[in-house]
Amino acid sequence: MKIFDYERILTKEQLKTASGKKKKGGRADNWKYTLKRILDFVAEQKILLIIVILLVVASSVLALIGPFIIGRLTDRFIDGSTFNELHIWLYGLALIYFLYGLASYFQNYWMVSIAQQTVYRIRTKLYGQFFKLPLRFFDKRKHGELMSRATNDIETISATLNSAFIQVVSSILTLTGTVAVMLWLSPLLTLITLIIVPLMFYGMRWITKRTSLLFKQQQAAIGEMNGLIEESITGQHVVKAFSQEEEMLRQFDEKNNRIRNVGFWSLTYSGFIPKVMNTLNSLSFAIVAFVGGLFAYYGHISIGTIVIFTEYARQFTRPLNDLANQFNTVLSALAGAERVFLIMDEEEDKMDGEKVALQGNVAFQNVSFQYEQDAKTPTLSNVSFTIKAGQSVALIGQTGAGKTTILQLLTGLYEKTAGEILFDGKQIDVISKASLREQMAFVLQDPFLFDMSVKENIRYGRLDATDEEVIEAAQKANAHSFIEKLPEGYDTILSSDGNQISQGQKQLISIARAFVANPKILLLDEATSSIDTVTELHIQAALENLMEGRTSFIIAHRLNTIRKVDYVIVLNQGKIIEHGARQALLEQQGVFGQMINK
């Protein structure tokens, strides 16, 4: 097996696509649109950008003036006509190159500022976009891969803006000015100099049609590896518990090898560019020196003109060389930017709507839902029920019956496929999701804590809660006693994995967070499943107090935790097979009655 198997990375069909040819039923990479999007962000600092461009123009003009003066001085000094004025010309040249250095310094200084501000806005918008996207977007993507887009891809854009923008603009101006002056001095010698341009063009085309796709695949491969690393670190307990260290290393080696292969060929092909350009640069210089020498020998041009042409020949190929080198950097940045903009262009969650004060009446009318459009069977099918404000509802059923899905539909985390969901008679579609969720509290089966103090984790339920309200909420959740025993009490900093405390204690903090939120609707998804029986008994009374006067939906496998609920819904494979008042269902001795009497 080849260590660097290029054929496995790019196929002939991919090379056609990379060179701009459309696949049947597909389209070429939209790099022009991506570039325009980046420039739109850059253009937000128009004044500073105009100043930078003016400085680039000034430095390019000054770079052209220097060699021209040297050439003209060469002719004049040969006949000795201005030898006595040499010091004046030297002072003039010194001033020109000083101004050139000054313009170069400030254009680079201000361009760094523009680049950092641009990347700051892109990063901010991308991070904000994460909170606007529906939950199903994250269900289909690895978190590490998304993190890679927010870090690696944006840093690639930053590095490119810091260096490539000025070099590209400067190279284009220098190239245009150089050709114009060369044509003015000697059209014939200029045409001879331009012989190398077709060679440069075809060489660049051959290289870049390979590197463009390779850079995109490199960014994608890095994202995949970051996703695996994030998974392996987050799931360390599972990896070790099942002794899958070797399997994780195998997967990592596979993805790492992919990055090595793609990186090797992308850098190998992009590395050809300076080699090819330097070779052609030397060839151009040799041609100008040889042909120019012949022209001077026969008196067609002066020696000073040859001096100018040799310098301009270098200046002619140098911007081409710079453009070639920056082209790879730009391709890499465009690949990263495209991955960033793809997230920005994702359809956002619908957050607009009417702000309402909920009473707590909830109704499902023939609601159906499926996570995947092409799913053979829906997750929920024609689910209907009506709950009055203040009632407590138990959702019962086997794993996969659709219990958690109902809660997610209630909060608007997912959009129903069919039917209607009503709050106080108003359809969920016309209610602002922010307004809806502000009046709900969700206690998950697997509690999540942030990298902040215990106090701030509880206050997350309502950010304006006072310290007294936080402590009161912890007392109601029976969390106060163990919190006080922590090293810093309520000011103890917890990590996101919460390894300093037990799973049950994490759940108690999560329940305290729900207390402090003071919601109209309470959603408990296996809220006591991670708590031992003794602790469960202690908090059961507190939960009952919390549910009093509030509409509450409770998912529980332990049936003793729903002894005092008002209403019971029994689900099976996404359908309601039994529902009604708890006592009435017990008397009917149906499915629920049989479950209780087991």
Give the tens place of pLDDT for each residue, 524-537: 887 666 566 666 66
**In-domain check, residue 22:** no
Averaged pLDDT for residues 88-102: 83
Residues 228 and 376 reside in one and the same domain:
no
Residues 328 and 372 reside in one and the same domain:
no
Averaged pLDDT for residues 166-190: 79
pTM attached to this predicted model: 0.69
**In-domain check, residue 574:** yes
Q: Is residue 109 exposed (0-12), middle (13-18) or buried (19+ Cβ within 10 Å)?
A: exposed
Cα→Cα distances 353→27, 79, 416, 502, 526, Å: 37, 85, 17, 40, 30
- pLDDT of res. 553: 92
Is residue 5's pLDDT more than 60?
Answer: no
At 498, the pLDDT band (50, 70, 90 cuts) reads low
Q: From 312, 344, 376, give the residue that closes a domain.
A: 344
Averaged pLDDT for residues 388-399: 89
Cα→Cα distances 367→8, 17, 393, Å: 48, 45, 17
Residues 437 and 540 reside in one and the same domain:
yes
Is residue 518's pLDDT more than 80?
Answer: yes
Give the CATH number, domain containing residue 440.
3.40.50.300
- pLDDT of res. 307: 74
**In-domain check, residue 357:** no
Is residue 28's pLDDT more than 50?
Answer: no
At 246, the pLDDT band (50, 70, 90 cuts) reads confident
Three-state DSSP state, 432: coil
Give the CATH number, domain containing residue 331.
1.20.1560.10
Residues 173 and 49 reside in one and the same domain:
yes
At 146, the pLDDT band (50, 70, 90 cuts) reads confident
Q: Which residue has the higher pLDDT, 208 or 46?
A: 46
Residues 516 and 372 reside in one and the same domain:
yes
**In-domain check, residue 233:** yes
Is residue 10's pLDDT more than 80?
Answer: no
Q: From 315, 344, 373, give the residue that closes a domain.
A: 344
Is residue 337's pLDDT more than 60?
Answer: yes
Averaged pLDDT for residues 475-497: 84
Is 56 in contact with 169 (CB distance < 8 Å)? yes
Is residue 215's pLDDT more than 80?
Answer: no
**In-domain check, residue 61:** yes
Residues 420 and 560 reside in one and the same domain:
yes
**In-domain check, residue 350:** no
Averaged pLDDT for residues 465-477: 89
**In-domain check, residue 353:** no
At 171, the pLDDT band (50, 70, 90 cuts) reads confident
Averaged pLDDT for residues 186-209: 73
Q: How many domains does the chain have?
A: 2
Residues 115 and 75 reside in one and the same domain:
yes
Place of tokens 């045409």: 191
- pLDDT of res. 535: 65
Residues 211 and 158 reside in one and the same domain:
yes
- pLDDT of res. 80: 56
Residues 339 and 422 reside in one and the same domain:
no
Q: Which residue has the higher pLDDT, 80 or 342?
A: 342
d(CA 415, CA 434): 15
At 499, the pLDDT band (50, 70, 90 cuts) reads low
Cα→Cα distances 127→50, 282, 422, Å: 29, 48, 32
Residues 329 and 424 reside in one and the same domain:
no
Q: Which residue has the higher pLDDT, 491 or 591?
A: 491
569 is in which domain, residue-wise? 362-596
Residues 228 and 143 reside in one and the same domain:
yes
- pLDDT of res. 237: 64
Residues 412 and 264 reside in one and the same domain:
no
Q: Specify the range with the lowest mean pLDDT, choosing from 170-179, 262-271, 295-304, 559-568.
A: 295-304
Q: From 344, 372, 394, give the residue that closes a domain.
A: 344
Q: Which residue has the higher pLDDT, 330 or 456?
A: 456
Averaged pLDDT for residues 198-205: 72
Q: Is residue 60 exposed (0-12), middle (13-18) or buried (19+ Cβ within 10 Å)?
A: buried
Is residue 21's pLDDT more than 50?
Answer: no
**In-domain check, residue 23:** no
